[in-house]
Amino acid sequence: MSEKDNLHNADGNEDLNSKAITTAETVADNQDASTQESTPSEETETVQPVEEHSETIDTTETADTTERGENATSDTTNNSEAATSIKNDAHVDEIEESNAEDAEDEGNVERHSIEDKDYHAMSMEQLADEFETLLKTKKVQTIKSHVDEIKSEFNSKFSEILDEKKEEFLSEGGNEIDFFYSSPLKKRFNALYKDYKNSLNAYYKTLETNLKANLENRLRIIEDIKGLINVEENINTTYKHFKDLQEEWRNAGPIPRDKYNNAWNTYHHHVEIFYDFLHLNRDLRDMDFKHNLDQKLKIIDRAEELAKDDNVTRAFRELQVLHKMWKEDLGPVDKEHREAIWERFSNATKTIHDKRQAYYADVDKAHEANLQKKEAIIAKIEAIAKDDLSSHQAWQNKIKVIEGLRTEFFNAGKVPIKVNEATWAKFKSAVRTFNKKKNSFYKGLKKDQYTNLQKKLELIKIAEDHKDSEDFETVTPLMKKIQSEWKEIGHVPRKDSDKIWKRFKAACNHYFDKLNAERNAANKGQVEAFEKKTKLLEELKELQLSGTPEADLETIKQKTEEWNAIGPVPQNKRFIEGKFGKTIDGLFNNLKMDKSEVEMIKFENKLEHLSQPEDTRLLDNEHHFIRKKIDEVRGEINQLENNLQFFSNIDETNPLVKDVLNNIENHKENLAVWEEKFKKLKELY
Residue-by-residue DSSP string for 491-521: ---HHHHHHHHHHHHHHHHHHHHHHHHHHHH
Taking residue 320's Cβ as centre, other Cβ atoms within 10 Å add up to: 23
Query: Model confidence over 262-285: pLDDT tens digits?
Result: 888 898 888 888 877 776 567 777
**Nearest alpha carbon to residue 259 among 76, 47, 44:** 47
Interatomic CA distance for residues 540 and 560, integer angstroms: 10
Q: Which of 143-152, 255-264, 458-467, 670-679 is predicted most confidently?
A: 458-467
Contact 160, 431 (CB under 8 A): yes
536 Cβ neighbours under 8 A, 6+ residues apart: 559, 562, 563, 566
Contact 380, 424 (CB under 8 A): no
Question: What average pLDDT does the segment 638-643 reach?
Answer: 83
503 Cβ neighbours under 8 A, 6+ residues apart: 460, 464
The length of the chain, given as a count of residues: 685
Question: What average pLDDT does the segment 468-472 reach?
Answer: 90
> How far from the centroid of its chain's Cα atoms is residue 628's Cα?
71
Please calculate the CA angle 523-528-532 and round it to the nearest 5 degrees.
145
Residue 160 pLDDT > 70, yes or no?
yes
Percent of the chain with pLDDT strictly greater than 70: 80
Contact 556, 584 (CB under 8 A): yes
The amino acid at 197:
K
Looking at per-residue pLDDT, the higher value among 180 and 76 belongs to 180
Interatomic CA distance for residues 239 and 274, integer angstroms: 9
Residue 497 pLDDT > 80, yes or no?
yes
Model pTM above 0.85: no
Residue 644 confidence class, pLDDT cut points 50, 70, 90: confident
Residue 514 pLDDT > 50, yes or no?
yes
Residue 219 pLDDT > 70, yes or no?
yes
> How far from the centroid of its chain's Cα atoms is residue 677's Cα?
79
Query: In degrees rounded to 5, what are phi and psi of residue 612?
Result: -95, 125
Contact 372, 419 (CB under 8 A): no
Tell me the sheet residues that pair with 615: 612
Please calculate the CA angle 532-538-542 and round it to the nearest 5 degrees.
140
Radius of gyration over alpha carbons of the chain, in Å? 53
Contact 45, 54 (CB under 8 A): no
The pLDDT score that the predictor gives to residue 101 is: 63
Question: What average pLDDT does the segment 590-597 reach?
Answer: 74
Query: In degrees rounded to 5, what are phi and psi of residue 56?
Result: -135, 170
Question: What average pLDDT does the segment 288-312 reach?
Answer: 91
Q: Which of 92-96, 279-283, 435-439, 597-601 is predicted most confidently?
A: 435-439
Residue 134 pLDDT > 60, yes or no?
yes
Contact 263, 96 (CB under 8 A): no
Contact 125, 185 (CB under 8 A): yes
317 Cβ neighbours under 8 A, 6+ residues apart: 27, 28, 31, 112
Question: What average pLDDT does the segment 629-641 reach?
Answer: 87
Residue 103 confidence class, pLDDT cut points 50, 70, 90: low
Lowest pLDDT segment from 226-235, 287-296, 530-539: 226-235
Residue 31 pLDDT > 60, yes or no?
no
Looking at per-residue pLDDT, the higher value among 453 and 53 belongs to 453
Residue 48 pLDDT > 50, yes or no?
no
Which 3 state secondary structure label does DSSP give 468? Answer: coil
Contact 558, 519 (CB under 8 A): no
Lowest pLDDT segment from 231-235, 349-353, 430-434, 646-650: 646-650
Interatomic CA distance for residues 113 and 32, integer angstroms: 5
The amino acid at 442:
Y
Looking at per-residue pLDDT, the higher value among 24 and 168 belongs to 168
The pLDDT score that the predictor gives to residue 305 is: 93
Contact 79, 269 (CB under 8 A): yes
Looking at per-residue pLDDT, the higher value among 16 and 270 belongs to 270
Contact 104, 257 (CB under 8 A): yes
Interatomic CA distance for residues 394 and 528, integer angstroms: 55
The pLDDT score that the predictor gives to residue 107 is: 46
The pLDDT score that the predictor gives to residue 34 is: 35
The pLDDT score that the predictor gives to residue 650 is: 66
Domain locations along the chain: 3-363, 364-437, 446-522, 528-595, 611-685
> Is 194 exposed, middle or buried (CB count within 10 Å of its CB: 0-12, 13-18, 19+)?
exposed
Query: In degrees rounded to 5, what are phi and psi of residue 615?
Result: -150, 100
Residue 40 confidence class, pLDDT cut points 50, 70, 90: very low
The pLDDT score that the predictor gives to residue 54 is: 34
**Nearest alpha carbon to residue 468 among 502, 430, 510, 526:** 510
In 307-391, alpha helices (H): 312-324, 335-385
Residue 295 confidence class, pLDDT cut points 50, 70, 90: very high
The pLDDT score that the predictor gives to residue 171 is: 66
Residue 51 confidence class, pLDDT cut points 50, 70, 90: very low
Query: Model confidence over 57-93: pLDDT tens digits?
Result: 333 333 333 233 333 333 433 443 344 344 446 777 6
> In this structure, what DSSP letter does residue 190 have?
H
* Half-sphere exposure in the Cβ direction for 221 (13 Å, CA): 26
The amino acid at 24:
A
Contact 486, 530 (CB under 8 A): no
Query: Model confidence over 371-385: pLDDT tens digits?
Result: 999 999 999 999 998
Mean pLDDT rounded to a whole number for the chain? 78
Question: What average pLDDT does the segment 660-672 reach?
Answer: 85
The pLDDT score that the predictor gives to residue 296 is: 92
Looking at per-residue pLDDT, the higher value among 296 and 166 belongs to 296
Interatomic CA distance for residues 164 and 172, integer angstroms: 13
> How far from the centroid of its chain's Cα atoms is residue 359's Cα?
31
Residue 25 confidence class, pLDDT cut points 50, 70, 90: very low
The pLDDT score that the predictor gives to residue 75 is: 41
The pLDDT score that the predictor gives to residue 52 is: 34
